[in-house]
Amino acid sequence: MFLHTLNPAMKACTVVGLVFVLACLFDPVTPLVFTLFTITVTLVFGRFRKRVYVLYLSAFTLFAFGMLWTTIAFADTPSQPEETIPLAGFLFPKEDVLTALALSFRVMAFAALSLLFVFTTNMVHFILSLIQQLKLPPKLAYGLMAGYRFLPMMKEEFDQIRAAHRIRGVTEANSIKGKFKQLKRYAIPLLAGAVRKAERTAAAMESKGFTSERTRTYYRPMKITGRDWIFPLVMFAVLGVLIVLSFQLDYFRWYNGQF
């Protein structure tokens, strides 16, 4: 699929640039339309489990709704607002509702862009791209890669420790004090195992030449081709068109300290 074949560094720079532009917008319509466009691009040009994507997106939607409601409920409301909007049986100032919608839809736009990157990017390729295109120090980058690889190993080791406790008759705690002791029983062997793995990994990386030396060859060379420029050009072009349309329809607003 198209999104999976793009250079990860180019994709990351595009997402960060779009986030900065969206952070300067403060009308509710532009981020809403751009969010819908981003979700469509992700679903059409990405290959992943759509159910998992919808689950993650739903969590961000709940967070955005919470921000919407709290912004409206705790806004500094004037005693006699000029315009009001009925919502859930109450009248709220129009300015507060528009501000809350702008904040909520910006959160959704950020979430949609983040999920696009996470669900369509191989993290190993991303780190290699950071080294080769963005000149991230290899010593730091390979350390991040090793740490990323540790996460599934830590989960597997945690499951093994818990299974070993059950075999020996140690049941799951129900009280708060018991859960704290249980956490301690899990944390100490996990920490000891992580320290041992970190020492062995550091020695192995140094012996195999994974140092701060930049003049090295790569088994997986990451390059930026003409195809990689399509994504940022299309995304920024669509956002630019939406901004122009919002100007024409007279609902565009820049962020000017509204909150």
* DSSP result, 43-90: HHH--S-HHHHHHHHHHHHHHHHHHHHHHHHTS---SS-SSEEEETTE
The reported pLDDT for the residue numbered 9 is: 92
| Percent above pLDDT 70 for the chain | 86
Give the pLDDT confidence of 150-162 residue by residue, as tens digits. Answer: 777 888 888 888 8
Give the pLDDT confidence of 201-248 residue by residue, as tens digits. Answer: 777 777 766 666 666 677 778 888 888 999 999 999 999 999 999 888
In sequence order, what E strands does the chain have? Answer: 84-87, 90-93
Contact 138, 217 (CB under 8 A): no
> How many Cβ atoms are within 10 Å of 118's Cβ, its own excluded?
13
**Residue 77: is its pLDDT beyond 60?**
no
Give the pLDDT confidence of 157-186 residue by residue, as tens digits. Answer: 888 888 887 888 777 767 777 777 777 778
Domain residue ranges in the chain: 2-126+223-249, 138-208
Cα–Cα distance for residue pair 71/257, rounded to 1 Å: 14
Cα–Cα distance for residue pair 175/177, rounded to 1 Å: 5
**Residue 20: is its pLDDT beyond 60?**
yes
Look over the chain and give the mean of its residue pLDDT values, rounded to a whole number. 82
Residue 25, both tokens: 């917008």
The reported pLDDT for the residue numbered 179 is: 73
Nearest to 218 by CA among 121, 148, 130, 119: 130
Cα–Cα distance for residue pair 245/27, rounded to 1 Å: 12
Contact 98, 17 (CB under 8 A): no
pTM comes to: 0.79
Task: Say which residue, 81 or 116, is predicted with more confidence.
Answer: 116
